[in-house]
Amino acid sequence: MVAGPPQSPPPPPSPYVSGPARRGSRTPLIIAIGAGALVLAVAVVFGAFLLVQDDEEPANARRLTASLGFQRVVSSTPGACASGGTPSSDGKTCHRLGPGMTVHELAEIRAVPPDTRGPTWTILITLRPSDATTFGELTRQVSAAPPGTPARQLAIVVGGKVVSAPEVLQPLTSGDVEISGQFTQDGATSLIAQITGTG
C-alpha cells in the first residue's frame, strides 16, 4: 500500500470459478480475467482439498435445502424482469435462460482460507459422481460459444434467482470446482449460503 491522500477504494475484482482437482498436482493453471467479469475456468488445485472417492461419503456432504440449477444463459439485460426471465439475486439483472441441469446434493462445499494459491478466500465444490458427467457436457457446450457473449455464461440458480452467472472458458469434466476472487471470509460464507439455499 502506498501512502497518499484519501481516495475511494477501487471496486474489487469479480470472482471466477475453476476446477478440476488433480491428484499429486502442484502447479496452478492461472486464468487471467478482466475487471467486472465472472469466469468459469479450469485450474489445477492441490489434491488434498477436493479428493473425494466415489465409494466414500465426505464428512461435509451437503443435502441442499433448495434445488441448485446450472443453466445456459441466452441473454442478460440490466434492470428488473418486467415479464418472464429469471432475476439476479440482487434484482439488478434479468436473465433469459436455456436448458441446464438440477442437483439436489453436493458431495462437498466449503470455504478455504488464503493459501499458496492466492491471498483471499476461495470456495471449493465437489459434485456427486452422478452429476459430474452431465455438468461436464453442459460446460463443454457453453464454453463453445463466442467469448464475451451471454451464451458463454452459466447461470447458477437457486430459488428462482441467479446467484451468479460466470463465463465458461473450457469444459469442467471432473466435478471438482473452485470459486476464486476477492472473497473475505464473510463473502465466501455468504455465497455458500446462497448456493446451498440457506441464506
Q: For residue range 123-160, what is the model confidence (pLDDT) as tens digits? A: 888 999 999 999 999 999 999 999 999 999 999 999 99
Quote the pLDDT of residue 104.
92
Buried/exposed 37-50: b ≥16 CB within 10 Å, e otherwise = ebbbbbbbbbeebb
Quote the pLDDT of residue 117.
67
Domain covering 16-29+36-196 in this structure, CATH number: 3.30.1360
- pTM of the predicted model over 0.85: no
Quote the pLDDT of residue 64.
86
Domain spans in the chain, listed from the N-terminal domain onward: 16-29+36-196
Low-confidence stretches of the chain (pLDDT beneath 70): 1-62, 117
What does the mean pLDDT of the chain come to?
75
Q: Say what the alpha-carbon torsion angle 60, 66, 68, 71 is, to the nearest 10 degrees.
A: -170
